[in-house]
Every structure is written in C-alpha cells, then in structure tokens.
Amino acid sequence: MRVTRAEAGFAAARGIRFEEEPAPPARARGGRWRVPGRFCASARCSCLRTARGASTRGSSPCRVVYVDTGLNTIKLKGEDSCGRQHLITLKLNAKYPAEPPDCCVDFPVEFAISWIPQSSLVDIYNQFLAALESLKEFWNAMDEIDEKTWVLEPENPTRSATRRRIAIGNNVSINLEVDPRHPTMLPECYFLGADHVVNPLRTKLNNNMHLWDPDITLLQNLKEVLETDFPSRAVLEKTDFTMDCGICYAYRLDGAIPDQVCGDSRCGQPFHQACLFEWLQGLPSSRQSFNVIFGECPYCNKPISVKMSMKKL
C-alpha cells in the first residue's frame, strides 16, 4: 500500500502512524503503516502483530482484508476454531480513539465492545475472536442443517440468520427460529403444510418434547422428536419440494414462497398467502372475519382459509 504524505498526516490525526521502509523488498509496494505499539500490517505478510496481542492471544494471526485510502475503514478477517472465516469492518470516526470505531459484523447477536480511550484496534480484534468462539456452537448447528437438509428459506443464509425453513416432504416444511445463545435447546418452531400432514407432526413434537437432549445436535434432536428423517440432499433435488403457486404459477413472489396449502388430502395445492387472499377476496361466496378470509380452494372447491399475518401457528 503506497501512502502519500497527506494520507500519513491524516492517519496521524487518527492515531495511526506510517513508517517508510528504509529498503523495501521487491514484493512490497511502498511503505508499511502501523498504530504505534498496537499493531502493524506490512504489505509483505498482511498480518497484524502486536507485542501485547501476541502475549495475550498466542500466535493467532489477524488479517487485514481491506483498508481504504483515508484509513477510515478497515476490514479484518478472523477464523473460529472450526475453521470458518468471518469479517469485521471497523469504521474510525473523527472522535477516535476517544470513541470506539463502529464495528460491523455478521453475528446473530449484538456485538458490544468494551472500549476506553487507551484501547487499541487489537483489543477489538481480540473481542471479535472471543465472540466467534462464543457463537461456535450456534454456527455448528446451523451448518449441519444447511449441509444435510433442504433449506427452503432463507435462500442464502448469512451467519447472522437464526431462521431456517426446512423441507420435510412435498409441501410440508418446518420453520425454526434458533436461539443463538442456546443453539442446542428446542428452537421455536412451526409447521407449514396441509393440516392432515402437519397435525400428526405437531402431535409428535408435543408428545416427544421431553426427549429433547441438549447433548446431541439440533438436527439429531429434531429427527428424534418428529420421528422423521429429513429428505436427503444426496437423493432429492430442491425442486422436489418447491411446488409453484396454483394461482400465479410462480414459486417466488416478492420473496415469499407458496406456504398456504389446501387441507384436502387429495388436493394439497400450495398457494402464496397474498395470491390466495386476493383470490378469495374477489369471490362473492367468501366470508371475511377480521383478517381471516374463508372460501373455497380454487382447485377442489373444498373449504380453505387464509389470514394476512405471516405466521401460521
């Protein structure tokens, strides 16, 4: 990273000092910069080192991924003990170091840092590494679900995503809201699908809840209490569970998937909530009570109802 005199002055005002290498090696493009006594990053190894950091955290290297030319934004990469890579973005404002930099992380919980004006960026980095370890079990649980089941939503889960909707069968899925602080406890769950398929699953969950064992994985527990195996990614394709809406003939509609299913066991046609609500609203035979509308399935004419809230309990 080449540093101009103006940038060096600007950085000095933020407590970061540049030092020109007396004889930079051929691979290094310019000088190196460092926060005095805190960390330094050289173009040769892109590794932050600190005497204090090294003594307190062993040899865990921290990596600079990005620094903007104004030295206001720094992205660092860290690895948890399971080998997952995570990023932290530090934004140094005008009041730094009296005030801490803004920290942006992809965590399912708030990342609250402790900071005094004498603190360094390495202190934040170490707090970041400690937070990664505290969330390790949560990410282990989510990774197992993502690897072994068909996750219908979210489409591309981030590290902060605590929700997963998993396919159980054709037009039947379970929505989980996992507590990141207690990832092996029974998560908040609700089922989506036709009543004749969902009701037995709900009964099993209620009857077997006491069998939940925090010492085994979240996925293993779900299999035990639901007495079911989740469709394997090895055998089935995602399209096996993703049936289009019977009204608009699409799968995704403004991010929503067809989660309203006709309760008649011979029909089982799925619809988007918005499509079904609009369809039933347009029929004179439909009846509305508060935000629930009752009418007939457009496919089999059996009774069907839909409400305008997101969750079906």
Nearer to Zn ion, 182 or 196 (CB): 196
Nearer to Zn ion, 101 or 270 (CB): 270
- Number of C-beta neighbours around residue 177 at 10 A: 11
Question: What are the angstrom distances between the C-alpha of 160 and each of 86, 145, 255, 276?
Answer: 11, 15, 19, 32
Q: How far is the CB of 297 from Zn ion (least distance, A)?
A: 3
In eight-state DSSP terms, residue 113 is P
Whether the Cβ atoms of residue 270 and residue 304 lie closer than 8 Å to each other: no
Q: How far is the CB of 267 from Zn ion (least distance, A)?
A: 3
Q: How far is the CB of 154 from Zn ion (least distance, A)?
A: 19
Q: How far is the CB of 130 from Zn ion (least distance, A)?
A: 46
Tell me the residue length of the chain.
313
Nearer to Zn ion, 67 or 245 (CB): 245
Nearer to Zn ion, 126 or 173 (CB): 173
Phi and psi for 63 in degrees, rounded to 5? -115, 135
- Number of C-beta neighbours around residue 295 at 10 A: 22
Name the strands in the sheet holding 292-296, side by side, starting at the edge strand that comes first in the sequence: 287-289, 292-296, 303-307
C-alpha Rg value of the chain to the nearest Å: 27
Nearer to Zn ion, 38 or 272 (CB): 272
Phi and psi for 93 in degrees, rounded to 5? -95, 180
Nearer to Zn ion, 236 or 300 (CB): 300
> Rounded distance, CA 59 to CA 298, Å?
65
Q: How far is the CB of 171 from Zn ion (least distance, A)?
A: 12
- Please report where in the chains the tokens 């002055």 appear, as a residue: 9
Q: How far is the CB of 291 from Zn ion (least distance, A)?
A: 19
Whether the Cβ atoms of residue 279 and residue 293 lie closer than 8 Å to each other: no
Q: How far is the CB of 305 from Zn ion (least distance, A)?
A: 12
Nearer to Zn ion, 41 or 262 (CB): 262
Contact residues for Zn ion, defined by CB under 5 A: 245, 247-248, 253, 262, 264, 267, 272, 275, 297, 299-300
- At 193, the amino acid letter reads G
Structure tokens at 305: 């109802």
